[in-house]
Amino acid sequence: MQVKNIMSNNLIMIDKNQNICDALTMMKKNKVSRLPVVSTNKEEHKKELVGIATEKDIAIKLGSSKYGNMAPSHFHMSTLMAKDVIAVEEDANVSDVAKILLENNIGGVPIFANGVLKGLVSKSDFIDMCKGRAYENYHVKDLMTTELVYVSPEDRLVHARRVILDSHIGRLLVSDDNKLLGILTSKDVAMAFVNFRKTVSDKHMKTQIKNLTVADAMTSNVKKISVDDSIATVATKMLETGFNGYPVIDNEDNIVGIITKSDLLALIVKLEEE
């Protein structure tokens, strides 16, 4: 199967001169976590891809001491975006594209046809494939990650941002006394930093940002998945909720793992190559 058969044709782009607030608004409105960043070629009257920006990029930049007291409206996409964009042609095989996402730890790639940007494919676009009958034979316990990364609700948000960055993951489990209290995603971190920078004066940002805690940004009432649920069931729930990952519980309601879209992507590669 070619990637053009699963890619999103409704391409949501952002200009390199727009700011972080614009990006987050567009992401929320269109339920996407990454945006191709474009520049307008005035001579040829067309838009050129110059980068890509994700929720994780926003969280990392906003929590960086390098940008100290800069307001969100001053963060242009040209500062935030990743410039070395990996892109593929529309006739690329889905298995090959899935490998690219996994090997480069990225969530999506732009799709081109004869030099023209046609769409974007993300991990979410692959998940619908997991609703097929073949995936009913695989269960969460077969794919889940058991090495869990936790933070405490009292931990500083800048610390959680660093954990996300160093661990190369997009979400952290929040616990206290071995009890799961919530989950913290890159999106949660980004939104908390944006709201903070909007309400705190420039001269106090650098000192007061240390007062932000995980509890200020985390999502409570976390949805969980059973170790015995089929991958087809997980895929359906991910598509219905838009969640990228779920904590996994055993029959005694203990947290024993986490399953993400990356885990499903790895299974897609395996089955497509058999």
Using the predicted structure, report yes or no on whether residue 64 has a pLDDT greater than 80. Answer: no
pLDDT tens track for 99-122: 999 999 898 999 999 888 899 999
Enter the CATH code of domain 131-273.
Answer: 3.10.580.10
- Of 68-77, 101-110, 181-190, the one with minimum mean pLDDT is 68-77
Predicted local confidence at residue 65, as pLDDT? 65
Distances 84 to 58, 120, 151 between C-alpha atoms, Å: 16, 16, 31
Cα separation of 94 and 270, whole Å? 12
> Mean per-residue pLDDT for 169-188?
89
pLDDT tens track for 77-88: 998 888 989 999
pLDDT tens track for 213-267: 999 999 998 899 999 999 999 999 998 888 889 999 999 888 999 999 999 999 9
C-beta atoms surrounding 122 within 10 Å? 21
> Mean per-residue pLDDT for 179-185?
91
The answer to whether the beta carbons of residues 184 and 151 sit under 8 Å apart is yes
DSSP 133-185: GGGGG-BHHHH-B----EE-TTSBHHHHHHHHHHHT-SEEEEEETTEEEEEEE
Cα separation of 102 and 226, whole Å? 24
Predicted local confidence at residue 79, as pLDDT? 86
Phi-psi region of 4 (alpha: psi -120 to 50; beta: other; left: phi over 0): alpha
Predicted local confidence at residue 246, as pLDDT? 93
Cα separation of 106 and 246, whole Å? 19
| Top-level class of domain 3-128 | alpha beta
Same fold yes or no, 3-128 and 131-273: yes
223: phi then psi, degrees, rounded to nearest 5: -75, 140
% of the chain at pLDDT higher than 70: 96
Predicted local confidence at residue 100, as pLDDT? 95
Predicted local confidence at residue 68, as pLDDT? 58
Predicted local confidence at residue 143, as pLDDT? 94
> Mean per-residue pLDDT for 129-143?
91
pLDDT tens track for 1-60: 899 999 887 889 999 999 988 998 999 898 888 999 999 876 666 789 999 999 888 887
Distances 159 to 16, 59, 179, 192, 232 between C-alpha atoms, Å: 29, 12, 20, 14, 35
Domain edges within the chain: 3-128, 131-273
